[in-house]
Homo-oligomer: A and B are copies of this chain.
Amino acid sequence: MRKIALFIVTLLSVTAMAQTVKSPNGNVSLTFALDNGIPTYQLSYKGKDVVRPSRLGLELAKDKHANKGYNETDLMDGFSVANTQTSTFDETWKPVWGETATIRNHYNELAVDLLQDATKRHITIRFRVYDDGMGLRYEFPQQQELNYFLIKDEHTEFAMAGDHIAWWLPGDYDTQEQETQQTRLSEIRERMGQAVNWGNSSVAVFSETGVQTSLQMKSDDGLYINIHEAACVDYATMHLELVDAQTKHLSQKLGGGSNDYTPNPKPSPYPLPAPLTFVSHLTPDATGLKGAMQTPCQTPWRTVIVSDDARDMLSSNLILNLNEPCKIEDTSWIHPVKYCGVWWEMIVGKSSWNYTNDLPSIKLDLIDWSKMTPNGRHAANNEKVKRYIDFAAANNLDEVLVEGWNVGWEDWANMWKRDVFDFVTPYPDFDIKMLNDYAHSKGVKLLMHHETSSSTQNYERHMEAAYNLMNKYGYDAVKSGYVGDIIPRGDHHYSQSMNNHYLYCIQEAAKHHVMVNAHEAVRPTGLCRTWPNLVGNESARGTEYEAFGGSRPDHTVILPFTRLQGGPMDYTPGILETQLSTWSDNPNYVHTTLVGQLALYVTMYSPLQMAADLPENYAKFDDAFQFIRDVAVDWDDSKYLEAEPADYITVARKAKGTDNWFVGGKCDENGRKVNLRLDFLDKGRKYECTIYADAKDAHYKDNPKAYTITHKTVKKGDVLKLTEAPGGGFAISLIAK
Which A residues are closer than 8 A to B by beta carbons? Answer: 63, 65, 68-69, 142-144, 147-148, 150, 173-174, 203-204, 206, 253-260, 285-289, 292, 294-296, 359-361, 363, 366, 411, 414-418, 457, 460-461, 464, 485, 488-492, 497, 500, 504
A263 closest partner in B (C-beta): B256
Which of B292, B457, B504 contacts A489 (CB under 8 A)? B292
Give Cα A115–Cα B457 distance, bound, in whole angstroms: 35
A287 closest partner in B (C-beta): B490
Which of B68, B490, B497 contacts A255 (CB under 8 A)? B490
Give Cα A143–Cα B361 distance, bound, in whole angstroms: 9
Q: Are A257 and B259 in contact (CB under 8 A)?
A: no
**List of B residues within 8 angstroms of A258 by Cβ:** 204, 286, 485, 489-490, 492
- Tell whether A68 pairs with B259 under 8 Å between CB atoms, given A142-B361, A464-B464: no
9 tightest CB-CB pairs across the interface, nearest first? A256-B256, A257-B490, A286-B286, A292-B416, A257-B286, A286-B490, A147-B361, A257-B257, A287-B490
> Could you tell me the distance in whole angstroms from the C-beta of A310 to the nearest C-beta in chain B?
36
> Could you tell me the distance in whole angstroms from the C-beta of A233 to the nearest C-beta in chain B?
13
Q: Are B203 and A260 in contact (CB under 8 A)?
A: yes
Q: Are B500 and A418 in contact (CB under 8 A)?
A: yes
**List of B residues within 8 angstroms of A288 by Cβ:** 256-257
Q: Are A144 and B414 in contact (CB under 8 A)?
A: no
Q: Are A361 and B148 in contact (CB under 8 A)?
A: yes
Q: Are A285 and B488 in contact (CB under 8 A)?
A: yes
A255 closest partner in B (C-beta): B256
**List of B residues within 8 angstroms of A363 by Cβ:** 294, 296
List 12 additional contacts besides A286-B489, A289-B489, A461-B504; criterion CB under 8 Å: A142-B359, A147-B415, A148-B417, A254-B256, A256-B257, A258-B286, A285-B490, A286-B287, A286-B490, A295-B361, A418-B497, A488-B488
> Could you tell me the distance in whole angstroms from the C-beta of A498 to the nearest C-beta in chain B?
10
Give Cα A55–Cα B361 distance, bound, in whole angstroms: 30
Q: Are B206 and A259 in contact (CB under 8 A)?
A: yes
**List of B residues within 8 angstroms of A489 by Cβ:** 257-258, 285-287, 289, 292
**List of B residues within 8 angstroms of A497 by Cβ:** 418, 457, 488
A257 closest partner in B (C-beta): B490
Which of B204, B360, B414, B504 contacts A259 (CB under 8 A)? B204
Give Cα A491–Cα B414 distance, bound, in whole angstroms: 20
> Could you tell me the distance in whole angstroms from the C-beta of A511 to the nearest C-beta in chain B?
12
> Could you tell me the distance in whole angstroms from the C-beta of A44 to the nearest C-beta in chain B?
38
20 A-B Cβ contacts within 8 A?
Answer: A63-B416, A65-B415, A143-B360, A147-B361, A147-B415, A148-B361, A174-B260, A204-B258, A206-B259, A253-B256, A256-B287, A256-B288, A257-B489, A258-B485, A258-B489, A286-B286, A286-B490, A292-B416, A296-B363, A488-B488
**List of B residues within 8 angstroms of A461 by Cβ:** 460, 504
> Could you tell me the distance in whole angstroms from the C-beta of A367 to the nearest C-beta in chain B?
11
Give Cα A571–Cα B562 distance, bound, in whole angstroms: 60
**List of B residues within 8 angstroms of A289 by Cβ:** 489
A292 closest partner in B (C-beta): B416
Give Cα A65–Cα B483 distance, bound, in whole angstroms: 14
**List of B residues within 8 angstroms of A485 by Cβ:** 65, 258
Give Cα A287–Cα B256 distance, bound, in whole angstroms: 7
> Could you tell me the distance in whole angstroms from the C-beta of A539 to the nearest C-beta in chain B?
20
A65, A144, A417: residue with the most chain B Cβ atoms closer than 10 Å: A65
Give Cα A361–Cα B359 distance, bound, in whole angstroms: 53
Give Cα A713–Cα B707 distance, bound, in whole angstroms: 108
Give Cα A491–Cα B492 distance, bound, in whole angstroms: 15
**List of B residues within 8 angstroms of A144 by Cβ:** 360
Give Cα A361–Cα B485 distance, bound, in whole angstroms: 35
Give Cα A174–Cα B254 distance, bound, in whole angstroms: 22
Q: Are A294 and B417 in contact (CB under 8 A)?
A: yes
Give Cα A288–Cα B254 distance, bound, in whole angstroms: 13
Q: Are A68 and B464 in contact (CB under 8 A)?
A: no
Q: Are B254 and A147 in contact (CB under 8 A)?
A: no
Which of B147, B360, B492 contacts A147 (CB under 8 A)? B360
Give Cα A294–Cα B416 distance, bound, in whole angstroms: 9
Give Cα A286–Cα B492 distance, bound, in whole angstroms: 12
